């Protein structure tokens, strides 16, 4: 068990400001924006640029709309970043039958643990909201003509041992059959990875995490990391 660290915060209030994300292809900007809307983010601006690409501003909650925090910016992957990623892909034979061993190793670790690489997390106060969002994503991944097969969904239950939480999740339409566990207790995680967005070492996709912490517990998945 690690030792808790405390620091003296500076005087004044601070909050998370914004995350800048990129969609990979010019024509897929509206689809990427639609996906963020399905995830519950609130669109507050859609600016059509001279290049033809869209620049979007989302907020995680409507209460953030007039503020300078809780923002997600979504724009087209810049040319220089795209060119660099294409050069990396070429040098390491990414996507071919003879990928570099380091690429294969990274893919294996990411397949085991969606938190292994870069990802962005959103905390939801309502488990029912999280379940509804991911039920919609499950359906879209099966039947939506634009999103079908482009969403990788992974779920983590908390470490077992709380009978009330275990019973609630056993009855969940999302978590009832889940056997994976988070690195902690008293909260759940849901992940969606999509190739509509670019991030990480290879720029192929982006992982978005959604969490719910059951109220009334000081130790939970976002306060204390634990292993079985």
At residue 227, the pLDDT reads 79
Condensed to tens digits (0 to 9), the pLDDT of residues 6-38 reads 566 567 888 999 999 999 999 999 999 999 999
pLDDT at position 51:
85
Give 197's contacts (C-beta < 8 A, 6+ positions apart): 21, 22, 23, 24, 32, 205, 206
- pLDDT-derived band of residue 3, with 50, 70 and 90 as boundaries? low
The band of 4, judged by pLDDT with boundaries at 50, 70 and 90, is low
pLDDT at 129 over 60: yes
Write down all domains in the chain, each with its CATH number in brackets. Answer: 15-76 (3.10.180.10), 79-112 (no CATH), 114-228 (no CATH)
| Whole-structure pTM value | 0.92
Question: Each residue of 54-105: pLDDT tens digit?
Answer: 999 999 999 999 999 999 999 999 999 999 999 999 999 999 999 999 999 9
2 pLDDT more than 60: no
pLDDT for the residue numbered 195: 97
Q: Report the pLDDT averaged over residues 162-172.
A: 98
Angle formed by the axes of helices 29-38 and 127-143, nearest 10°: 140
11: tokens are 């005087």
Q: What pLDDT does 38 receive?
A: 98
Angstrom distances, CA of residue 15 to CA of 67, 69, 93, 190, 199:
11, 7, 41, 23, 23
Kindly tell me the burial class for residue 137, based on how many C-beta atoms sit within 10 Å of its own C-beta (0-12, 13-18, 19 or more).
Answer: buried
What burial class does residue 17 get, using C-beta atoms within 10 Å of its C-beta: 0-12 exposed, 13-18 middle, 19+ buried? exposed
**pLDDT value of residue 9:** 59
pLDDT at 203 over 90: yes
**What is the percentage of the chain residues whose pLDDT exceeds 90?**
90
């Amino acid at each position: 068990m690690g030792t808790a660290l405390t620091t003296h915060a500076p005087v004044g209030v601070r909050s998370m400001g914004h995350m800048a994300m990129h969609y990979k292809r010019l024509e897929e900007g509206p689809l990427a924006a639609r996906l963020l809307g399905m995830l519950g983010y609130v669109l507050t601006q859609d600016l059509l640029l001279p290049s033809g690409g869209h620049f979007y501003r989302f907020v995680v909650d409507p209460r953030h709309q007039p503020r300078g925090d809780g923002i997600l910016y979504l724009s087209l992957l810049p040319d220089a970043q795209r060119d660099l990623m294409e050069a990396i892909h070429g040098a390491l034979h990414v996507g071919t039958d003879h990928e570099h061993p380091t690429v294969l190793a990274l893919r294996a670790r990411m397949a085991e643990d969606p938190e292994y690489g870069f990802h962005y997390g959103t905390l939801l106060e309502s488990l029912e909201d999280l379940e509804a969002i991911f039920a919609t994503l499950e359906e879209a991944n099966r039947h939506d003509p634009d999103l079908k097969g482009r969403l990788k969904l992974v779920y983590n239950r908390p470490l077992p041992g709380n009978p009330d939480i275990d019973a609630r999740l056993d009855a969940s339409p999302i978590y009832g059959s889940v056997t994976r566990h988070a690195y902690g207790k008293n909260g759940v995680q849901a992940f969606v990875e999509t190739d509509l967005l670019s991030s990480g070492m290879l720029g192929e996709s982006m992982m978005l995490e959604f969490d719910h912490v059951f109220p009334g517990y000081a130790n939970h998945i976002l306060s204390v990391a634990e292993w079985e």
